Chain A
Amino acid sequence: MGMSLFTPLSWNDSGFILTGVLNTVYISLVAITIGTVLGLAVGFLRAESNRVTNTLLGGVLDILRSVPLIIQLILFSTYIGAMGHPLNPFAAGSIVLSLYTMAFMGEVFRGGFESVPQSMVVAGRSLGMSYWQTVLYIRLPIGMRAVFPSWLGVALSVIKDSALVSVIGYMELLRTSEQLISRTQQPLEILLGVGLFYFIISYPLSLYGKYVERKMAI
């Protein structure tokens, strides 16, 4: 048996795989966190502002939601490269994924703010609360609770979409496994492992989301 060009998967690869796993988790958390914060701001603005701002803001969010993420990633990293300020894949990926997340979270939170009945706000004002106090103590907690299942749904799709950041060279799980596949020529085993990883993260959370939704419906 001669030397093979390909070497099979071995325990030595576990560190490499772990890096991929951690990077996937890392960029997902960053995007969900930043996307949630920005989405809250955007959702609040949209619920509160007049027609003009609303339409403008809506238009921008619309673009983010109507252009494939993969194109946004390629465009952004090419653009900053062409402008002479290349970013590392993690930074570029985080920015695009966060804005993308914001676009979806914004709609979720807007729905949340708008779902709080005006009568509750009036009740708050009648107790002497200021405008911002009603936002902070009434609309935010009540509205956010109502949209938690939708928020979780968006967060789960961000974890899955983070796989796309591999196209601009970020070493997340899928790109790690791509490299392993080209070395080991064992695509099936490796891909099944990758799928299992996503499933193990996503499935329990989706069950939890359904559980909360059912509990809220009663």
Chain B
Amino acid sequence: MIKIQGVYKSFDELEVLKGVDLDVKKGEVISVIGGSGSGKSTLLYCINGIEKIQQGNIIVDEIDVHAKGTNRDNLRQRLGMVFQQFNSFPHLTVLENASLAPRIVKKLKKKEAIEIAKEELNNVGLSDKFDEYPTRMSGGQQQRLAIARALAMKPEYMLFDEVTSALDPELVGEVLDTLRMLSDAGMTMICVTHEIAFAREVSDKIAFFHQGIIEELGTPEQVISNPQKETTQKFLSKVLH
């Protein structure tokens, strides 16, 4: 379970998160929607401890992410993350991309790491690309590689930050299919996304983010079909035209 309690975060003068509370239970899929610059990415970075917070707590499976003694490198093994930019490692093959972290972080034997990587790559439909270099693949393929790379660490939770935003429209579907597959398999996920239809379909809860706080939180029915707050209504009318 991930517990986010009263989190404040600023970059120098700029206050980005202004008291965020959110609980994510095992097996839940939560989609975070909201305008650009509202702090959605920052929240994900704070959850896996890449960014520090100024106030509040983030607890992942009883571990306080931002406490002094926490080994965040260890913690991040439980939290897979996929980014808007594909962030493939361009100097490694697809298989090396996916097997590196299991090998050097989890210290698995090379053979074992490769087995796991192959399995995850098969699941995202990249079984014919093991020896390819990522820069020669489409954005959709690179993004699926990024998902498989994160899954090869066998994380408990997955954080997705607008993983389809940098894709050509015809490639969005294949990546969303992969996310759907994951949610069907029971993965606990936080998805920052602009794909409202997708969010409504797969999410247990939707959080509408506005100016550093969660304005509205509820089932897709509540937040998307019957938004209570004016800001939510405005946002939705813009993205749903």
Q: Are A and B in direct contact (Cβ within 8 Å)?
A: no
- Using a CB–CB cutoff of 8 Å, the interface residues on chain A facing chain B are none
